[in-house]
Chain A
Amino acid sequence: MGAVNLLFVVQRPPYKSENPRLALTHAIASQTAEIYMDDGDSVVPIIVFVGDGVLNAVKDQQAMKVYGVTSTESHIKSCLMIDLPVWVCKEDMERLGLKEDNMITNAEDMGADLKTKFVSFAEIQKEMDAVKHLLFF
């Protein structure tokens, strides 16, 4: 079968919905899915934040201080650290008055080389057409 491309689309804001956290943890679980797969098979995820979901990618979150839970910021940085692409919809950022300066752009503090990609919705739609499976959260 080889590599199967998956697109995780997150449209809910963080914390009061479990969806973004589940999307991130499921995407990260791709790293260990091989134990259930045949040799040569793999899953290749991309996680993309759209609509109100772009709020998950706002930087300097204080979830541990306020709610006593890990932040979606830490999960997004974990994605970058394992070279899992993180995309954020530019139009939805603009709609919410967010600039790239407000967002998680990298995880250099965790040693990650990969950076967040800010993309147009047209590019996201193109990827939706290209992948084998779409997972909406």
Chain B
Amino acid sequence: MGELTLGVFSSLVGSMSLDFSFKIAEAAIAKGHKVNMWLSGNAVMMAKKGQKAFKDYSHNEKLMKELMGKGMEITVCEACAEARGYHKEDVPEGMKRASMDWYLAKTVKTDKLLHIGGE
């Protein structure tokens, strides 16, 4: 099985790209692939735990936790998070924070890179 890396830059609210990224990840994991996800730019909204699951808004925390439980590695851009006031103590359990070089390093070994740009 292969390794897929998703670089996601879209926000949780305002576009469906982040939602689709998790759907793609879910499908890839179901097929037995290893999936890494880099969250940068407005996608770092996922790095704030305790978000309420209103039915009017996308809410991916449940799916994200399930996928991390199945071995998906999720790392969030530390600088982008800090710029938005999301600190280390806000990060959901299992999610890592790193600088942008983490994402670039993943491009070396991954079989496929899917870069999903921001707004």
- What is the interface of chain A, defined by CB distance below 8 A to chain B? 1, 4, 6, 17-19, 22, 25-26, 29-37, 41-43, 45, 132-137
By DSSP majority rule, is chain B's interface helix, strand, loop, or mixed? helix
Q: Does B42 contact A (CB under 8 A)?
A: yes
Among the 9-residue stretches B17-25, B53-61, B63-71, B98-106, the one with 4 or more Cβ atoms under 8 Å from chain A is B98-106
Contacting B7 at CB < 8 Å: which of A32, A35, A43, A135? A135
B83-119 CB contact bits vs A (8 Å, 1 = yes)? 0000000000000000111111111110001010111
- What is the interface of chain B, defined by CB distance below 8 A to chain A? 7, 9, 40-42, 79-80, 99-109, 113, 115, 117-119
CA gap between A88 and B119 in the complex, in Å: 22
Contacting B117 at CB < 8 Å: which of A1, A30, A35, A136? A136
Given contacts A22-B40, A37-B108, A133-B107, contact A30 B101 (CB under 8 A): yes
Which B residues are in CB contact (< 8 Å) with A30?
101, 104
In the complex the two chains form, is A33's CB within 8 Å of B105's CB? yes
Given contacts A19-B118, A133-B113, contact A6 B101 (CB under 8 A): no
In the complex the two chains form, is B41's CB within 8 Å of A136's CB? no
Give B115's nearest chain A residue, CB to CB. Answer: A135
Which B residues are in CB contact (< 8 Å) with A42?
108
Which A residues are in CB contact (< 8 Å) with B108?
1, 4, 37, 41-43
Contacting A43 at CB < 8 Å: which of B105, B118, B119? B105
In the complex the two chains form, is A19's CB within 8 Å of B115's CB? no
Which A residues are in CB contact (< 8 Å) with B102?
33, 36
Give A18's nearest chain B residue, CB to CB. Answer: B41
Give A42's nearest chain B residue, CB to CB. Answer: B108
CB distance from B110 to the nearest CB of A (A): 8
CA gap between A96 and B105 in the complex, in Å: 36
Contacting B109 at CB < 8 Å: which of A1, A17, A19? A1
Q: List 25 A-B contacts (CB under 8 A).
A: A1-B109, A4-B107, A4-B108, A17-B118, A22-B80, A25-B79, A25-B100, A29-B100, A29-B101, A34-B101, A36-B102, A36-B106, A37-B108, A41-B105, A41-B109, A42-B108, A45-B104, A132-B107, A133-B115, A134-B115, A135-B7, A135-B113, A136-B115, A136-B117, A137-B117
